[in-house]
Each structure stands twice: as C-alpha cells, then as structure tokens.
Structure 1
C-alpha cells in the first residue's frame, strides 16, 4: 500500500514567490545608472542619494518574510528527518541545492571576466561588486536552516517563549552596543546604536535572522493564527516602528554601508518590520486562499515558485546587458535626481530593460538546469558534509567580499569543491 502524497499548500508558495519577486524588483529600482558622454560610468544606490527612500524599504525588505515562510514549509519534513536520525543529510541536501546553481552562476561571471580582460570590457568593472552582493542571502539562509532542527526543539519546549527570548537577546545586544547604563539612555538607544560600531552586536546577524524562522515554526504549529492575531501583529509592528524611529534608529531597513543602518548587523528596528509582515500574512490569508483556489493564479504561482531561486540568483546579471542595450540605443537610462519629475518614469524604463534582458537569461538557465541530473544523491558522511559546508561558506563569502574579480574566481573553486563533497560519488557535479 502506497502512502498518498500530501497536497502542497499553495499559500506559503505564493508568499515565497512574491517575496523573491519583490526583492528582485527592489534591487533593480535601487540601482541608479550614471551616464557621461553617452556611456555608463558608475552606479549609485537609491538609499545613498535619497533619504526618503528609506520608508520604501519597509515594504521591499521582505527577506524576513521569506525566512518565516520557508521555516513553516520545512518544519514537518525536518521533524520527520529528526525522528529518522537524518538531520545532517537534510541540511546537506539544502546546501547542495544551492551550491550547484551557484557553480553555474559563478562560472558565467568568471567567463565574463575573462572576456572583459581580453577585450577591454568596461561595463563589467562598473557592475563588479553589484553582481555578487546579493549572495549574502544564500549565506544567511544556509546558516538559519542549519539551525532549523534546533529551533524545532526550542519551539517544542518553550513555544512562543522562544520568540520572546530571541527578542530579549537582540534587545540586550543592541543595548550593549548603545552603551546603555541607565533607563534614561533607553530613550535614545536607536541614535546611539547608529553612531557606534557593532562590536558584540554582530551576534544579531544570527539572533535576528533566527527570529522569523522561530515565528514560522510557531505559525506552522498553530501557536497563532487568524485575522485577530494578524491585526494584533500589525498593531505591534506599527507601534514598534514608531518607538524605534523616535529613539533614533535609521529609517532604512536595507544597508548600503557597514554602519548607520538596520541591516549590518540587524537591529531591533528590523524586528518591527517582521511583526508587520507576520500580521499581513495572517490578516490576508482568507482572501489569498480564495484567490488561489482559481486555477489560473495557482498555475502562475507554481511557475513563479519554480523560477524564484534562479531569478534571484541571476537577476543582477541582467543589469549588465540592460546597461549595454541602453547605451547602444541611446535610451535615457541615466537615473537623474531622485524625487524630481520623470525620475520614476526613468525607473520604469530601467526595470523594463532589466526584464527584457533577464527573460532569455532565465530561459537558458532553466533549460540547462533541466538537462542536469536533478536527483543527485547526497552524502551521509559527516566529514564530507562539514568540508563541503565550509567550502560553500568560503566560496560565497569570497564572491560577496571581492566581487567578480577576484571573488568569483575564488568562489567558483570553493563552491565547486562544496558541490563535489556534498554529493555521493555516483552523482554528477
């Protein structure tokens, strides 16, 4: 007797797909091409030149939402793996699933770097760091998912107390960073955090990103649900952000520097956005499920979900041919001055170019990935999993830190090693 395959819940898939789509569009909006003499000479970041754009990040910073939903989707499967003693193989499979397409991406970047070196390519130098900066997400995702089994155990023992504990630890780390020594200091904790080096608060790179994962597990376990809980989370998030801004925390929830932002490392202000996102998930769930009951939207979500990670991995590369095409056709791709008339029309044109360029890229990538062996056996040897995991972290970190050159070259070697170590010998790279 065969066990029936469980029906996949379309709502979490829709949330994850939409979250990745928002991230992609947000990255394209934030890239501001700068022209001189008809050629692209540099790029700015929207947040670096327009302070008011910080409020937009309250909407487009949806990485917490992705972590929240991913934890809810994975919770039952990981629990079964834990019961079967297959915890390490689960993470190895996740790591391998990220390593293999990343090998392809880095290999293309290395090839482009070689072509640019031979032919004197100019645009690759302009986009050098931009083409790898988004790999930070893979590093964060690998880390929190490695701790998903631990989070499941913590939820089973403490319930929502685990969430409160993480918030308390994050608050303590921010307080230490701010040098809080009296209740009066709490009034301006945000301003003090923004002015001071992170120090021990770098631990919030782990604590704060574990928080949406812990919330996702609690949601899956039914510890909160319904429109009433959603309204409560929305009210909490709104009040949280008002108090955070009043204490001097930066407005932007995306960082463009190593200091003075809510991302590097994450701060208590970012937690306010998490409350808002969880509240929206709960409040709009009935309406979303009714819409997803229709075949057309459900199919679109299925396709978008399948393309989500390839689109995230490759979307920054689309900016390179978009800039080239804009130059060749003489299109007004220069971003101009944010806030002035015509700025958003120019942003729409830039996004249209990026969409035009990313379409054939994704088509080629998907065709290539479909031709590969998708069911590569994963190793169950602890040493190889550790070596593969370390190599994957090193490779992603190298590309993130040093861009296409020399980061992608070093990263390709390390991530290829990770892919080789994480699979069984019978699998293909």
Structure 2
C-alpha cells in the first residue's frame, strides 16, 4: 500500500460520522418535505395543476419549524470545513481556489440535471405535454439552496477569521446586524411599533432587508465554526438553545412574523425572501437539537448498519437533492395511469393524508431508477477534474454559475432550463483548469 493510500485509509478510519448523519437526516427531511408540500390537482383523472400545502393549510406553517433545515445544513457544513479553512489561512493558500473546487463540484451535476430537464421541456413544448406545465417551477425552485450555499461558503474565511478574533461575540454581532436590519426595514416610529415588528417588516418590500440574506445565513455558519472550536457543547447548552428557539419563535410570531419558515407562494409575507429574525429561531432549535441528542446519535452510529446507511446517504446527497423534484413528473404520470388518489383534496377532508402517502410512495418508487441512472452516469464521467486557479476566471465562472441558477429559478423548467443550462455549462468550463494537469 502506498503512503497516499495509507493516509486515505487512516482519514476514513477517523472520519466523524456525526456531521455526516446530521446532513443525511437534513437531506431526507428536505426530500420528504418537498414531496409532502406538492399537492397534485386532478380533473377527469388528469393532473391540471398543483397546490402548495402552505397555501391550502395555514396551520402547516408550524411544520416548517422542523422541515426548514437549511440552517442545520449550513451549521454542519461550516463545522466540517472549519479546520480546512483555518489551515489554508495559516498556510497562506488562496481560499478562492478552494471555493472554485466547490463551485465546480456543484456545477457539473447541475449541468446534467438542467440538460435532462431541457430535453423534457423541449419535447413537452412540441408534444403538448400536460405534466410539465403544473410542475414547471417546482422542478427548479430547489436550486436556490445551491446559490445560497455558494455565496455563504465564499465568506467562510471571513467567518473563520471572525471566530479567531472575537469568538462567540461574532455570533452576537451578526445577530445585532440582523435585528437592526429588520428594525430599519420596519421603519419603527415609536416603542409601541415593536409589538407589531413582524407585521411591519413583512408588509414592506425587501429593500434593506436583503442585507439579512448574508447576516442571517452567516449566523449558522458562524455557530458551526464556534461549535467545531469547542466554544459551546453539551446537552445542557442544547436544551437551553431549544427553549430559546421556542420562545424566540413564539415571540416573533406574536409580533406578526409569518408562522411558516418556507414560502408557499411568491408575493405573500415571507420569512425567507429576504430572511428575517424569525428564521433565527429555527436555527436555535436545530443547533440545540444537535447538542442535546449528540450522545445518543453517536452511540447509534456505532452500529455498523447505521454507519453504512449514513455513508450511502452521504454519497447520494447531491444527486438525490438535485433529482428528487424531477421524480414528481413520472410519479404524477404513474398516479394518473393507476388511478390512485394523489389528489386527496385539502387537509380536513377524508383521505387527505392517505392521499399524501400514495403520492410519497409513488415518488419513492420512481426516484429509485432515476438515482440508479444518475449515479451510473456520474460514476462513468471523469471524477478528478482540476479547478481553475486564475482569479478573474474564477470570479467570472462563479458569477455565470449563479446567474444560470437564478435564470432557472425565475423561469422554471421551460424556458429556464434552456437558458440556465447555458450559464451553468459555461461556468463548468470556466471553473476547470485548462489544460488539465497530467495524472501520474
């Protein structure tokens, strides 16, 4: 065995599976949450539209306190990346080069997804395909997470530096910025207005509130680094954060912030576009849960079968996130053909949750062969692709990547996948080294 292989084996042996388990759990929550939230609407046995669970049932907003797991994912990703970021800072390596590798790693599978989506969209446009219309935006809306993650990870060196200099005071500073932004957005004129802070904030255009697109999402990243550095730990702290999160959410909702931490439709009052103080309450709860249940989960991970399952989910993470929404297309088609009750009405009606189970079962059935095809393709393509190291090229490539994702988000599968693919494919080309170094 070579020294390189020995080092890789040693690294694998000491790999901390707890963060992997947290990310795998968050991934499953996202996948099932998206499927649950999509409500097919049938007429004469054919799907003609879709609703969002939050639109037809306002009480579902409380469920998003559990289902909105993006803060958890950012928290864990920062904890995993903290040591590497610190090492690069100390050795004088360019963080931008590391980010180029991350961006390239996201761009390549996204090119595949958008290419397939474009093919389906073009075929649907010429054949009058019904199913694409109701699911058009649903097939690309989940790409927003990739855009947000790229932006936050680009600021990882700043978060590491802030932790080294100020410790948990950096978290307090970000929290203060988020609070000031919401206060300015609300245009508080008197102390009494604070009792209606949430209503005032979410009744106005984003404006200065978009500053919180950085401040609020940087909070879990800052906390993840602090956790990795051992600045807080233990179930007592975890329980305290859980209670803080519940009180935080109760207090913010009482002032008029929306209950839901996910948007059911554009244009309605939102905690997400841009992020608000209310969303921070979810972060407290999730970080508190990480600390509170760390001991039991680590003991569970000592079981070989559980550890293996976490490893598999970790390897499938990116493909499953990209393609789970695509599975709704064949699931709807199969539901029509079998005549199962995928349109079960609205909550409160007989059979609604039974219909939800049918829909989820169909999505699971069809996502399996989709994943087999995707993983087979990804394993056959060249894996070790060197990333670009020229700063202007990386900046342009990153901008084009984000632009392509934004276009896909705004325009949906048709025509968004077509124009978005151009941007993401260009980014995939720009973000790789030319020529590629020769492998020994």
How far does residue 257 in structure 1 lie from its aligned partner after superposition? 2.1
TM-score, normalised to structure 2's length?
Answer: 0.95
Give the match for residue 297 of structure 1: 306
Of the structure 1 ranges 191-200 and 213-222, higher mean CA displacement relative to structure 2 is found in 191-200
Of 328, 337, 350 in structure 1, the residue corresponding to residue 346 of structure 2 is 337
3-state SS, counterpart of residue 373 of structure 1: coil
3-state SS, counterpart of residue 344 of structure 2: coil
How far does residue 337 in structure 1 lie from its aligned partner after superposition? 1.4
Give the match for residue 221 of structure 1: 229
In structure 2, stretches of 5+ residues that fail to align are: none
3-state SS, counterpart of residue 327 of structure 2: helix
In structure 1, stretches of 5+ residues that fail to align are: none
How far does residue 348 in structure 1 lie from its aligned partner after superposition? 0.6
Separation of aligned partners in 1, 2:94 and 2:16: 24
3-state SS, counterpart of residue 357 of structure 1: helix
Q: Is the 8 A contact 1:21 1:308 kept in 2?
A: no
Separation of aligned partners in 1, 2:25 and 2:315: 12
Give the match for residue 130 of structure 1: 138
Separation of aligned partners in 2, 1:339 and 1:21: 26
Q: Note the aligned Cα RMSD (angstroms).
A: 1.3
Give the match for residue 218 of structure 2: 210
Give the match for residue 27 of structure 1: 34
Separation of aligned partners in 2, 1:67 and 1:353: 30
The reply on whether 1:192 has 2:209 as its aligned counterpart is no
Separation of aligned partners in 1, 2:213 and 2:138: 21
Q: After the TM superposition, which residues 57-76 of structure 1 pair with which residues of structure 2 at under 5 Å, given as runs?
A: 57-76=64-83
Separation of aligned partners in 1, 2:419 and 2:89: 35
How far does residue 83 in structure 1 lie from its aligned partner after superposition? 2.7
Give the match for residue 186 of structure 2: 178
Of the structure 1 ranges 104-113 and 183-192, higher mean CA displacement relative to structure 2 is found in 183-192
Separation of aligned partners in 2, 1:415 and 1:335: 38
How far does residue 143 in structure 1 lie from its aligned partner after superposition? 0.2
Give the match for residue 46 of structure 2: 39
Of 411, 418, 421 in structure 1, the residue corresponding to residue 427 of structure 2 is 418
How far does residue 427 in structure 1 lie from its aligned partner after superposition? 4.4
Q: Is the 8 A contact 2:136 2:414 kept in 1?
A: yes
How far does residue 354 in structure 1 lie from its aligned partner after superposition? 0.4
Separation of aligned partners in 2, 1:386 and 1:242: 42
Separation of aligned partners in 2, 1:258 and 1:174: 18
Of 50, 57, 65 in structure 1, the residue corresponding to residue 57 of structure 2 is 50
Give the match for residue 276 of structure 1: 285
Aligned residues: 428
Separation of aligned partners in 1, 2:348 and 2:320: 29
Give the match for residue 9 of structure 1: 16
Deviation >6 Å, runs of 4+: none
Of 374, 380, 397 in structure 1, the residue corresponding to residue 389 of structure 2 is 380
